[in-house]
Structure 1
């Protein structure tokens, strides 16, 4: 948070700051009713967009723009700074920090705008803006192309000026050596000198240490001084609706010491759900260790260390959130998260984690997170609150589908190692379980699951859908659901239509389509109804879309004939029984 004294010394063009008087709070939010585009841009959203595009800065309201900048005071968004911050984020995707400063009771409103992500250009009314003197103008083609073609630099690979081997933590180095020797299956690595080890792992280049060495190995006090945002904050709350935390612990050690201490602290409040079904007995922890470690490793490997915020972990009794600075890596979105191999923002750091066995392979962390979470019958990992500036992961501890956990566990136990289900197969099984529309399924995975007989195909043509195999329903308390999902035949169609017409007397085609919405397409319903009309089991009144259907005369006659035959049969049976009883009465008793 900047101070008024610092603001007074800043220059607009050089220091990425825009000063506005706004005494009466009359700075337009979005251009208002102004007609000229150049006038509309000179608003809060316009300046926020332009400042973000040029690397971040400050929009200051309540100070003069003449140097040195005098405090004038403003009523701009008085008592509504939180609402302003929320509106800017909703309208632009830019998450500013908004706060108030005072000098002699004169109020200054500061909108602190973050730097845009690498390769990302923000727009106001579909126009990318840049500041040119006192004006906001459309970004030049040269600047625009330069930005969108940017390659994000590997911060972890850059040299950390002045960092010495003596600044590194000997305990962290010992852990690095131990894990590296185990992963590489070479005990001799433990005997390497510190300098040789660091050089082999490219943490030391031409006698100079990198930022990766700082993050992974530096002494606590050195790391705090040089890169305080490398810390991880763990906050615990007893309720998910609670805003203040009950406990907050800062982990500011080098990674190789931090990671175990952090997991052990989270695990202190961990529990488990016992799962049992016949021969299947196992416990599912609230927070799976592999999921949590991979999530933290991802945050550390992918976060943007140029931003000043720390990684924050919010732990609740049955939920855990992990928030780290920097959006998804280039090319990765929420939609393709588990299908697109990710490129770590800090490649050297990620490679060290791989070479030391902290992670199996760079870019597979999200796979493990989804694989383990879905296999345990929990909700899909939720990245929906992520944006261009933060990755926000929510992990639920609640088992939503116990039967699905048993289903996956039984399959994996039966399959040989090289045929076990992949994360994409489990992901697709989960989507089918949740009745995801056919168009949103990965058909390569669907075909593989059909071959393995783990799902079944139902319906025809446009009404095709998929269900999990009978094994899944064997683990549920409602096995009848499986049989309810069997393909429907003509007799069942007529029975359902007959039940409807017995109550409603008449129906239109749309009524019949609604009866079979989840089982038959409109075309399939029409074909069956036409067949029933041709067989005179249904009667059609009218043509086309105005047609009305009733129970057919043939069916009514057949029922009447059947009823009459049944009645005659019952009477004949009663008559026969009467004669038998008379004969029994007339027969002499024994001894007469």
Structure 2
């Protein structure tokens, strides 16, 4: 490790991945060192962890005390100590770095995929404590199960419920399962619809059976359990439906029902409150609901499939005046982040439950239900769904409501009727440009969560289709909605505001840049205004003629422009 990197880590302060252990007042015992390493190894995430001995909590560097004979510290012996005193053994890198004449003992701690303990069986993990700061706290068994599920190493829904019996399952729920498949129009596994109850349970893996059923799994209770059995065996399972008006709660109901019954009940409740506008496109009458039933179905199914059933807390469905929120306990599984939601491979926290939902026809068989949520929301003329309020402990889906953009819906329907349906990437880009007016390939890559070259291809495809116009070249190439698209969206004046004012905006941008930085080159002007080199040349020439700028330096690329006399 280089000292510069160490200084950066210290400057950023303590975090879930970084812990300081000062030795200004007393030395750190070997047992304390090992426990601190274990604590870091059991944290969430994949980033490297760092234990810095010789740095105080306030980031002051006070130096690490010598740990071995002769007033020295042997890093190899520290590595051996950690490996011998952890279960399973941890392989850590250890460095002794000199900073301003003081030694800092640096231990690089990889995140462990399995829980780590001391030889005595003491488990700790690093997490945010009650004071809002990172600290070591006991690592409880339910938290270990949740951590394993997050990493795809444990399927909670496949666990056996020791005291549950076949009589705890409700025959009516098996019949509901068969009915849902029959009414699903081929979405579910039709072969299951003709099986008796026990064969359905075996086929789904809801029970343990050779010839006779010997045990019930969590999955069996979640799908088919009687209400009293769910209350006894799965006390964490709860779903709330709330209707809120400002700060008043007008509906506040909690359910401990099996999941299939819950899905039908909540779909029915939303349908009763879901208003619908009508739009005529040619001879077709199109209904535009406040919230798409398909999007709600997938969002609710995701919340039930991906929730952490080892954690206390319910799934909340909250209907506000301007939005619909669905939240569930348990953060995103390992590898899933806000910036890759649309492209990451499916990682269900409860794979057996996810498979059962797909075979019932409730969830997408492709496991890409999130695409459906986004497509349905956008094609109905609403802003894109948001997961921005999600945390490490909860996932929150927000479906914005409000008045639909009927002109955008008309555009989508007309293209669909013409045999040119928009892809999800197209809808995301068009929605973004409608709101923000301009974009680049780099910005669009963030919007569609794909590499820049794929974003550029999507933008150029929309240019070829006549939906966008482009200006500039290379990295400076910028895109905005075309005149025909603005006209179809009923925003004729918006095109003028976006396109017609550009030269004036470019002039002001260049003048402000020169006032701040002293001068500007042609390439800098092109990058600043997202225009081509020839456009930048003409812009600077025009400003020079107006005496806003004056040229200095050699001809060609060496010319720079400073503030002129006006």
Q: Residues 178 and 516 (structure 1 numbering): CA distance in 2 closer, same or farther, change over 3 Å?
A: same
CA drift at 1:165: 2.3
CA drift at 1:201: 2.2
TM-score by length of 1: 0.61
Q: Residues 39 and 412 (structure 1 numbering): CA distance in 2 closer, same or farther, change over 3 Å?
A: farther
Q: Write out per-residue CA displacement over residues 466-506 of structure 1, whole angstroms, 9 at most, x where no aligned residue.
A: 12344431233431433565599xxx9699979x99xxxxx
Structure 1 or 2, whichever has the larger Rg, is 1
SS at match of 2:160: coil
2:318 equivalent in structure 1: 314
CA drift at 1:40: 12
Could you list the runs of 5+ residues in structure 2 that have no partner in the other structure? 1-14, 58-80, 93-108, 115-150, 445-454, 512-517, 554-559
Match for residue 481 of structure 1 among 482, 487, 494: 494
CA distance in 1, matches of 2:534, 2:294: 48
2:467 equivalent in structure 1: 454
Contact preservation (8 Å) 1:377, 1:404: yes
Q: For this pair of structures, how many residues does the alignment match?
A: 436
1:443 equivalent in structure 2: 456
SS at match of 1:246: strand
CA drift at 1:410: 2.0
2:173 equivalent in structure 1: 172
2:220 equivalent in structure 1: 213
SS at match of 1:407: helix
1:543 equivalent in structure 2: 552
Q: CA RMSD in A?
A: 4.7
CA distance in 1, matches of 2:393, 2:198: 36
CA drift at 1:146: 6.7
Which aligned pairs between 1:515-526 and structure 2 lie closer than 5 A? Answer: 521=531, 523-524=533-534, 526=536
Q: Residues 37 and 299 (structure 1 numbering): CA distance in 2 closer, same or farther, change over 3 Å?
A: farther
Deviates more, 1:283-292 or 1:513-522: 513-522
Q: Write out per-residue CA displacement over residues 219-267 of structure 1, whole angstroms, 9 at most, x where no aligned residue.
A: 111011111222201122111xx2x633310121101111111121233
1:426 equivalent in structure 2: 427
Q: Write out per-residue CA displacement over residues 80-112 of structure 1, whole angstroms, 9 at most, x where no aligned residue.
A: xxxxxxxxxxxxxxxxxxxxxxxxxxxxxxxxx
Q: Write out per-residue CA displacement over residues 114-133 of structure 1, whole angstroms, 9 at most, x where no aligned residue.
A: xx65x668969889x9xx9x
Q: Write out per-residue CA displacement over residues 555-580 of structure 1, whole angstroms, 9 at most, x where no aligned residue.
A: xxxxxxxxxxxxxxxxxxxxxxxxxx
Q: Residues 354 and 542 (structure 1 numbering): CA distance in 2 closer, same or farther, change over 3 Å?
A: closer
CA drift at 1:197: 1.7
CA drift at 1:314: 2.0
Is 2:297 aligned against 1:287? no
SS at match of 1:296: helix
CA distance in 2, matches of 1:53, 1:497: 53
CA drift at 1:151: 4.3
Contact preservation (8 Å) 1:215, 1:255: yes
Match for residue 239 of structure 2 among 202, 211, 232: 232
Is 2:373 aligned against 1:346? no
Contact preservation (8 Å) 2:478, 2:531: no
1:21 equivalent in structure 2: none
Is 2:204 aligned against 1:201? yes
CA drift at 1:216: 1.0
CA drift at 1:402: 3.9
CA drift at 1:353: 0.9
